[in-house]
Amino acid sequence: MDIDEVKARAGPREFGPSDDVPEAYREAATRMLQFHANSEIMGAYLEKPFVRQSPSIDRKLAFSAKVQDEIGHGQLLYRAAEALGVKTREEMLDELARGEGKFLNCFHYEMEEWAETPMIAFFVDGAAMKRQATLKRSSWAPYAHAMDKICFEEGFHVKHGEDIMRELAGGSKAEQRRLQDAFETWWPRILQFFGPTDDESTHHDFAADVGLKTATNDELRTQFLDAYVPKARKYGLEIPDEPRIRYHEDEDRYEVVEDDLDWEEFFAIANNEYPEGRERIDGRANAREAVSWVRDALESGDRAGSDEGVVAAGGD
C-alpha cells in the first residue's frame, strides 16, 4: 500500500501486522505507541513511592495494584509497537533509560505528599480516559485491542483516585487546604496533558489522516473541562484564577485560555530538559541496570535450550 491507499482505507482497527503498510505509517504509529508506553511506565514510577506512603493497608494494596497495572499497560503497548517492525521492545526500553524516549509532561514533575495523589489518579487518569477511549478506534488494530484492556483498568484507577479525593475533601480543614494547594499546583499541568494546541501540534494531521488518531488535542481538552470542572467543584475545589477558564453558557461548554499556559516550560519538558524529569529517567535507567543480570540469565537459558535442541536433533 501507499499512503493514499492507507488514507482511503483508514478506519477503526483496519490495519494489522499482516498488512503491508508504508514506512511513514509504521513510523508514525511507532512514535505514538512508544510515547504512550513510556508514559505508562514513567507514571508508575511517579506513583510507586505511595505504595509505602499510603495511610492504610487498603490504600497500599490499591496503589500496588495500580502501579502493577500501569507497568502492564506499558508492556502491552511496547508489544503493539513492536508489531510494526520499526523498533524492538528492548530498543524502546533502552531509549527510555538513556533519556531519548519521550513521555507525558505531567510525569516529569515530583509528587511529594498524599494530597497530590488524586491529581494523578483522578484528574490525569480521567484525562487519559478521554484520550484512550478515542484510541479504541485507532486504525492500527493491535493498538486498539490494547486499549480495550487498558481503558477497563483505567476506569478503576479513576474511581480509586476519586475515592481518595472524596476522603480528603470530607476531612479536616487542614486536609482540605492541602487538597486545594495540590490542585492549584497541578491544574495547569493537567490541562497540558493533551499536548500542544492544534496549531502547534506537529504530528496530528498525518496521524488523523491515516486513522491513528480520531480527535484533536483541543477537542479532548474541551471535553475534559466539560466533565471535570463540575467534578472539581463538587468536591469543594476552587478553580484557580489562572489559567483562565471561560464558560460559554450558550453552548454549555468550558474553554481554557491557552495563552495562560506555560508552553515554554511545556516544550522544555517535552525535550527532556526539565531537571526533575531527568532524575526520574535516571532512576529508571538505574533500575533497568540493576536487573540486567536477570535478562542475561534468561537469554543464556534460551540459548542453552536452543543448543540442546540442536544436539538432540543431531543425535537422532
* pLDDT of amino acid 149: 96
Q: What pLDDT, on a 0 to 100 scale, did the predictor assign at position 171? A: 96
Cell of 183: 490542585
Please write down the HEC assignment for all residues of the chain: CCHHHHHHHCCCCCECCCCCCCHHHHHHHHHHHHHHHHHHHHHHHHHCHHHHHCCCHHHHHHHHHHHHHHHHHHHHHHHHHHCCCCCCHHHHHHHHHHCCCCCCHHHHCCCCCHHHHHHHHHHHHHHHHHHHHHHCCCCEHHHHHHHHHHHHHHHHHHHHHHHHHHHHHCCCHHHHHHHHHHHHHHHHHHHCCCCCCHHHCCCHHHHHHCCCCCCCHHHHHHHHHHHHHHHHHHCCCCCCCCCCEEEECCCCEEEECHHHCCHHHHHHHHCCCCHHHHHHHHHHHHHHHHCHHHHHHHHHHHHHHHHHHHHHHHHC
- Structural domains in the chain, sorted by start: 3-315 (1.20.1260.10)
Angle (CA) 132-133-134 rounded to 5° is: 90
Kindly report the backbone phi and psi dihedral angles of residue 295, in degrees, each rounded to the nearest multiple of 5, phi listed first.
-65, -40
pLDDT given at position 305: 62
Check residue 278 and give its pLDDT.
Answer: 66
What are phi and psi for residue 188, nearest 5 degrees? -60, -35
- Predicted pLDDT of residue 260: 93
**pLDDT number for residue 289:** 77
* pLDDT, one tens digit for every residue, the chain (316 residues): 899 999 999 999 999 999 999 999 999 999 999 999 999 999 999 999 999 999 999 999 999 999 999 999 999 999 999 999 999 999 999 999 888 899 999 999 999 999 999 999 999 999 999 999 999 999 999 999 999 999 999 999 999 999 999 999 999 999 999 999 999 999 999 999 999 888 888 888 999 999 999 999 999 999 999 999 999 999 999 999 999 999 999 999 999 998 999 999 898 888 877 666 666 677 767 777 777 777 778 777 666 665 555 445 454 4
Q: What is the pLDDT of residue 313?
A: 46
Amino acid 275: pLDDT:
66
pLDDT at 316: 43
pLDDT of residue 176: 97
